[in-house]
Amino acid sequence: MNDAKKFTLLDKVNDPADIRNLSNKELKTLAEEIRTYLIDVISEVGGHFGGSLGTVELTVALHKVFDTPKDKLIWDVGHQAYPHKVITGRRDKLPTIRQLHGLSGFLKRRESEYDVFGAGHATTSISAALGVAKAEEMMNTGNKVVAVIGDGAMTGGMAYEAMNNTGVQKGNLIVVLNDNRMSIAPNVWQFSNYFSGLTSSPEYNKFKGAIWDLTGKLDDFGDRLRKVTSRLESGIKSIITPGILFEALGFRYFGPFNAHNIPQLVKIFNHVKGLNGPILVHVSSVKGKGYKPAEEESTKMHGVGSFDKITGKSIVKSSKPSYTSVFGNALVELAKENEKIVGITAAMPDGTGLLKLQKEIPERYYDVGIAEEHGVTFAAGLATQGIIPVVAIYSTFLQRAIDQIIHDVALQKLHVVFALDRGGLVGADGPTHHGVFDLTYLRMIPGMVVMAPKDENELRNMLYTAVEYDGPIAFRYPRGAGLGVELKEGFEKIPIGKAEKLKEGNDVAFLAVGKMVEYSLEAAAELDAMGINTEVINMRFVKPLDNETLDYVAGKFDKIITLEENNIVGGFGSGVLEYFNEKGYKNNLLRIGLPDGFVEQGTQEELHRMLNIDAEGIVGRVKSFFENTGKDHKASV
Ligand X SMILES: Cc1ncc(C[n+]2csc(CCOP(=O)(O)OP(=O)(O)O)c2C)c(N)n1
Task: Output 50 or 482, the one with its CB closest to ligand X.
Answer: 50
What's the min distance (Å) between Cβ of 166 and ligand X? Answer: 18
Task: Output 348 or 426, the one with its CB closest to ligand X.
Answer: 348
- Beta-sheet pairing, 145-150 with 174-179: parallel
CA-to-CA distance for 11 and 196, rounded, in angstroms?
A: 39
Task: Output 31 or 550, the one with its CB closest to ligand X.
Answer: 31
Among 102, 118, 152, 278, binds ligand X (CB under 6 A): 152
Is residue 539 at the binding interface for ligand X, with CB under 6 A as the rule? no
Is residue 460 at the binding interface for ligand X, with CB under 6 A as the rule? no
Q: Indicate the SS3 state at residue 543.
A: strand
Is residue 400 at the binding interface for ligand X, with CB under 6 A as the rule? yes
Neighbours of 11 (CB within 10 A): 12
Is residue 80 at the binding interface for ligand X, with CB under 6 A as the rule? yes
Site string for ligand X, 22-61 (x = CB under 6 A): -----------------------------x--x-------
Question: Active-site residue 287, yes or no?
Answer: yes
Given the residues 33, 136, 233, 372, select the one marked as catalytic: 372
Closest CA to 10 of 80, 26, 66: 26
In this structure, what DSSP letter does residue 390 have? E
Cis peptide before 202 (omega within 30 of 0): no
Given the residues 28, 144, 252, 287, select the one marked as catalytic: 287
Site for ligand X in 345-374 (CB under 6 A): 346-348, 370, 372
What's the min distance (Å) between Cβ of 152 and ligand X? Answer: 2
Backbone angles phi, psi at 174, to 5 degrees: -110, 120
| Segment lying near ligand X (by CB under 6 A), choices 179-187, 482-490, 549-557, 584-592 | 179-187
Among 180, 549, 562, 588, binds ligand X (CB under 6 A): 180
- Alpha carbon separation from 570 to 163, 444, 595 (Å, rounded): 36, 8, 12
Question: Active-site residue 113, yes or no?
Answer: no
Task: Output 221 or 598, the one with its CB closest to ligand X.
Answer: 598
Closest CA to 402 of 446, 442, 452, 343: 442
Closest CA to 130 of 16, 248, 279, 273: 279
Residue partners of 423: CB distance under 8 A and separation at least 6: 395, 435, 438, 452, 476, 477, 478, 479, 514, 565
Residue 415 CA, chain-centre distance (Å), reads: 26
Task: Output 95 or 186, the one with its CB closest to ligand X.
Answer: 186
* Helices and strands, number each (H, E), in the chain: 24, 19
What's the min distance (Å) between Cβ of 517 and ligand X? Answer: 28
What's the min distance (Å) between Cβ of 603 and ligand X? Answer: 20
Task: Output 153 or 425, the one with its CB closest to ligand X.
Answer: 153
What's the min distance (Å) between Cβ of 430 and ligand X? Answer: 12
CA-to-CA distance for 141 and 51, rounded, in angstroms?
A: 32
Among 33, 115, 151, 455, binds ligand X (CB under 6 A): 151
Task: Output 288 or 593, the one with its CB closest to ligand X.
Answer: 288
| Segment lying near ligand X (by CB under 6 A), choices 91-99, 343-351, 434-442, 497-505 | 343-351
Task: Output 45 or 347, the one with its CB closest to ligand X.
Answer: 347
Is residue 150 at the binding interface for ligand X, with CB under 6 A as the rule? yes
CA-to-CA distance for 191 and 195, rounded, in angstroms?
A: 6
Site for ligand X in 181-220 (CB under 6 A): 182-184
What's the min distance (Å) between Cβ of 633 and ligand X? Answer: 48
CA-to-CA distance for 266 and 472, rounded, in angstroms?
A: 52
Among 153, 159, 334, 383, binds ligand X (CB under 6 A): 153
- Alpha carbon separation from 76 to 158, 159, 284, 541 (Å, rounded): 12, 10, 16, 36
Given the residues 28, 400, 476, 515, select the one marked as catalytic: 400
Task: Output 408 or 546, the one with its CB closest to ligand X.
Answer: 408
Question: Active-site residue 231, yes or no?
Answer: no
Among 82, 212, 365, 397, binds ligand X (CB under 6 A): 397
CA-to-CA distance for 149 and 175, rounded, in angstroms?
A: 7
Among 28, 72, 79, 84, binds ligand X (CB under 6 A): 79
CB of 561 closer than 8 Å to CB of 625: yes
Among 28, 121, 415, 540, binds ligand X (CB under 6 A): 121
Burial group, residue 70, by CB count within 10 angstroms (0-12, 13-18, 19+): exposed
Site for ligand X in 268-307 (CB under 6 A): 287
| Segment lying near ligand X (by CB under 6 A), choices 74-82, 164-172, 503-511, 599-607 | 74-82
User: Among the residues of 303-349, which ranges form H helices?
Assistant: 323-337
- Angle, vertex CA 369, rays to CA 515 and CA 168, nearest 5: 120
Q: Report the interface residues with ligand X, using CB under 6 A.
A: 51, 54, 77, 79-80, 121-122, 150-153, 178, 180, 182-184, 287, 346-348, 370, 372, 397, 400
Catalytic residues: 287, 372, 400
